[in-house]
């Protein structure tokens, strides 16, 4: 992506929504084929993250997988969405993306096909960016937490690590209590 394209991407703004919409109304293609109907997440909180295999924040896959391992049994879903919107830091080939996710970081949560999250955003990402008190991702590994009703409850930037205490506390507040 050239400098002029990058400037245009950051200047482009979607009109924010006055009221939250149902983020779970979307479907996304999966990296390994097929589709993920986000409606299947209904009743569960979901952390949606734009990812990139060649980014300085790529090691955050480790923390995302740790969250998934720890909280998936209580209902947390995580969806990684590879994107090359920021400095073209994602492979074009699905197999190469999968190798980084699975081989290098042991990712077992769903990963979508490569999609635009800001430049020409996929409808899911346009919807996430337009939610009240939200915005488009400014870089890779921006995290959006959606509650069981499909409403955005929080957004964190790339520098917030997956194991950040505030992020973890927000996830825990949406999950049923842990069984003793």
Supply the mean pLDDT for the chain.
Answer: 91
Query: Would residue 7 count as lying in a domain?
Result: yes
Query: Would residue 43 count as lying in a domain?
Result: yes
The CATH number assigned to the domain holding 161 equals 3.40.30.10
Query: Would residue 84 count as lying in a domain?
Result: yes
Per-residue pLDDT at 5: 54
Per-residue pLDDT at 19: 77
Of residues 55, 101, 111, 117, which has the active-site annotation? 55
**Hunting for tokens 């992506």 — which residue is that?**
1
Q: Per residue in 101-156, pLDDT tens? A: 988 999 999 999 999 999 899 999 999 999 999 999 999 999 999 999 999 999 99
Query: Would residue 49 count as lying in a domain?
Result: yes
Query: Would residue 110 count as lying in a domain?
Result: no
Query: Would residue 180 count as lying in a domain?
Result: no
Query: Would residue 179 count as lying in a domain?
Result: no
Name the band, by pLDDT with cuts 50, 70 and 90, for residue 17: low
Query: Would residue 112 count as lying in a domain?
Result: no
Q: What is the domain count for the chain?
A: 1
Q: Is the dihedral of CA 69, 75, 76, 82 positive or negative?
A: positive
133 CB-side CA count, 13 A: 10
Phi and psi angles of residue 5, each rounded to the nearest 5 degrees, phi first = -65, -40
Per-residue pLDDT at 40: 95
Asked if 112 contacts 29 with a C-beta cutoff of 8 angstroms, the reply is yes
Per-residue pLDDT at 64: 98
Residue 101 a catalytic site member:
no
Sort residue 109 into left (φ over 0), alpha (ψ -120 to 50) or beta: beta
The residue range of the domain holding 157 is 3-55+62-105+117-174
């Amino acid at each position: 992506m050239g400098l002029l394209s990058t400037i245009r991407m950051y200047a482009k703004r979607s009109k924010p929504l006055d009221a939250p919409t149902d983020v779970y109304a979307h479907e996304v293609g999966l990296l390994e084929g097929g589709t993920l109907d986000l409606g299947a997440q209904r009743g569960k909180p979901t952390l949606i993250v734009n990812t990139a295999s060649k980014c300085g924040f790529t090691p955050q896959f480790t923390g995302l997988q740790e969250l998934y391992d720890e909280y998936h049994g209580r209902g947390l879903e995580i969806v990684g969405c590879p994107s090359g919107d920021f400095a073209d830091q994602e492979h074009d080939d699905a197999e190469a993306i999968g190798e980084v996710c699975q081989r290098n970081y042991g990712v077992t949560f769903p990963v979508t096909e490569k999609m635009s999250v800001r430049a020409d955003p996929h409808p899911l990402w346009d919807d996430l960016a337009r939610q009240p008190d939200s915005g488009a991702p400014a870089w890779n590994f921006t995290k959006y937490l959606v509650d069981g009703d499909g409403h955005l409850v929080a957004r964190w930037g790339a520098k917030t690590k997956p194991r950040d205490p505030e992020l973890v506390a927000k996830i825990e507040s949406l999950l049923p209590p842990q069984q003793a």
